[in-house]
Structure 1
Amino acid sequence: MFKKILIVCIGNICRSPTAQQLLGAALQPSDIKVSSAGLAALRDHPLESTASEVLREHGHVPQEHRARQLSVEAVSEADLILVMEQHHVDGVLNLAPEARGKVFLLGKWQQEREIRDPYRQGKPAFVQAYALIEQAAEAWAQRLAR
């Protein structure tokens, strides 16, 4: 049974906090805890403003967020680690090789789809990333809530 899920991207200001919020909401009312971190986090930065805007446009109230760096401790505590791109798997495993077997793409159930970084790409990229994250979060929630 998964109790702690960690979602990882690079900066921890766009994709992973968005996925944290969407997966957390999709898993309600379970007691599964969802958190996020970045491989090269913009430490203590809030959710990127366009990511926040897109969440609001889809009916969500963005959660308070401060970017945090991925740590060996966070990897160790997580039962499942979801990443946005294949090279993020390598980043997690370089930090903590013992995590092999619990690191998967968020887009695993969409033919191993990667979710590209929308940072500094304009609002359409954020809208696209949101759509992919939403689909992937719903697919994981259906499998995890069983």
Structure 2
Amino acid sequence: MFKNILIVCIGNICRSPMAEQLLRAALASSGIAVRSAGLAALRDQPLESTAGQVLHEHGHVPQGHRARQLSAEAVSEADLILVMEHRHIDGVLNLAPEARGKVFLLGKWQHDREITDPYRQGKPAFVQTYALIEQAVQAWAQRLAR
């Protein structure tokens, strides 16, 4: 049984906080804790404004996100770590090799789909990223909420 899920991207201001918000909502009744962090986090920065706007337009109310740096402690506490790109798996394992076996792509159930970074690419990129994250989150939620 998973109790703590960690979602990882690079800056922790776009993809991982969006996925954190969606997965937390999808698993709200499960008691599973969902957090996010970045491999090269823009520490203490808020959610990127376009990411927040897209979340809001889809009925989510982002609350007080502050980017945090991935740490060995956060990796250790997590039962499952979901990342956006294959290279993020390597980044997590470089920090904590013992995490092997609990790090997967968020897009695992979509044929190991990577979700690229929309940062500084305009709203259409964020809308596309949201759609990919939503599909991936729903697939994970179906498997985790059993």
Both proteins in one fold, TM over 0.5: yes
Kindly state the Cα deviation for residue 55 of structure 1 after the two structures are TM-superposed: 0.4
1:47-86 aligned at under 5 Å gives the runs: 47-86=47-86
For 1:63 and 1:133, the matched residues in 2 are separated by 18
**Is residue 145 from structure 1 mapped to residue 127 from structure 2 by the alignment?**
no
The runs of 5 or more residues in structure 2 that have no matched partner are none
What is aligned with 2:7?
7
Q: Which amino acid aligns with 2:55?
A: L
What is aligned with 1:134?
134
The runs of 5 or more residues in structure 1 that have no matched partner are none
- TM-score normalised over the length of structure 2: 0.99
Post-superposition Cα deviations, 1:50-77, rounded to whole Å, max 9, x if no partner, equal 0000001111111210000000000000
What is aligned with 1:25?
25
For 2:44 and 2:102, the matched residues in 1 are separated by 26
Q: Which amino acid aligns with 2:120?
A: R
For 2:128 and 2:63, the matched residues in 1 are separated by 20
3-state SS of 2:82 partner: strand
What is aligned with 2:119?
119
- The question of whether the paired residues in 2 share the 8 Å contact of 1:19 and 1:137 is answered with yes
For 1:62 and 1:28, the matched residues in 2 are separated by 15
3-state SS of 1:109 partner: helix
What is aligned with 1:107?
107
For 2:39 and 2:103, the matched residues in 1 are separated by 14
For 1:63 and 1:54, the matched residues in 2 are separated by 14
Q: Which amino acid aligns with 2:28?
A: Q
3-state SS of 2:113 partner: coil
Q: Which amino acid aligns with 1:69?
A: Q
Q: Which amino acid aligns with 1:145?
A: A
What is aligned with 2:92?
92
For 1:62 and 1:5, the matched residues in 2 are separated by 18
Stretches (4+) displaced over 3 A = none
- The question of whether the paired residues in 2 share the 8 Å contact of 1:21 and 1:63 is answered with no
- TM-score normalised over the length of structure 1: 0.99
